[in-house]
Amino acid sequence: MLHESIDCATLLSMDRELLPPTFTTAMARSHGVHPRDLYAWRDHGEIVELSRGVFRRADAAPASYPDLLAVAHRSAMAIVCCRSAAALHDLSDEIPRAVQIAVPTRNRPPQITYPPTEVLRFDVETFELGLSRVEAAPDEWVRIYDPTRTVVDLMRLRGRLGEDLAYGALQRYLRRRDARPGELLSMATALDTRGPMQRALDVAMAR
């Protein structure tokens, strides 16, 4: 019986090593892993549950942004946006209380309670405008809006997210070596917020 238990543990270890660093329950099952074994690994600390149904191998390299990684696996279409994108791009010192993600208006918003997540719905036509990506863990990438799109989104949603956040992000953006005010205005035009952005730019650049 002991020999059989050792063989079983060895096989389970081999199964686990075939899985990617971050994986879902569905991915584990596609590799032949029974849910009972999956949760046994979790209970023994061999994998870590990042979110409901999303796991990371304990022997994987540390993730720089585990919350973003978890949310990306819960909603493949989502794009990290607004407060979360501003924090990552060093456009704000604010520590977001929840991961902010955008999904297209036609998509059903994902229900994610952990990590705390706030879902915004953006127009389908401009949804991937300014799309970039960030390495949330070694060789594992998450969709995120670039700094230009982030500043514009904060400006057009300033009534909801706060004017201080929007204008502060704009000031930081303009201090960046790669700042491109022209691209900022082009993005603002595409997202129907050129007027407020032009006025904010005029004030910021006159200082």
E-only strand ranges, the chain: 22-24, 47-51, 54-57, 79-80, 99-104, 117-122, 131-137, 140-145
Global confidence as pTM:
0.88
| Angle in degrees, CA 32, 38, 42, rounded to 5 | 155
pLDDT digits (tens, 9 = 90+) for 151-164: 999 999 999 999 99
pLDDT at 166: 96
pLDDT at 205: 81
pLDDT of 141 strictly over 70: yes
- Residue that has been written with the tokens 């390299």 in this structure: 61
pLDDT of 16 strictly over 80: no
Confidence of residue 107 (pLDDT cuts 50, 70, 90): confident
Q: How far apart are the first and last CA of the chain?
A: 78
Structure tokens at 149: 């799109």
With beta carbons less than 8 A apart as the criterion, state whether 139 and 120 touch. no
For residues 2-27, give the mean pLDDT: 62
Confidence of residue 5 (pLDDT cuts 50, 70, 90): very low
- Smallest CA-to-CA distance from 140 within 73, 53, 50 is with 73
pLDDT digits (tens, 9 = 90+) for 143-190: 999 999 999 999 999 999 999 999 999 999 999 998 999 999 999 999
Mean pLDDT score across all residues of the chain: 90
Confidence of residue 10 (pLDDT cuts 50, 70, 90): very low
For residues 116-138, give the mean pLDDT: 97
What is the number of residues in the chain?
207
- Residue that has been written with the tokens 């909801």 in this structure: 160
With beta carbons less than 8 A apart as the criterion, state whether 79 and 101 touch. yes
With beta carbons less than 8 A apart as the criterion, state whether 157 and 145 touch. no
pLDDT digits (tens, 9 = 90+) for 40-64: 999 999 999 999 999 999 999 999 9
Residues 115 and 178: their CA atoms lie apart, in Å, by 32
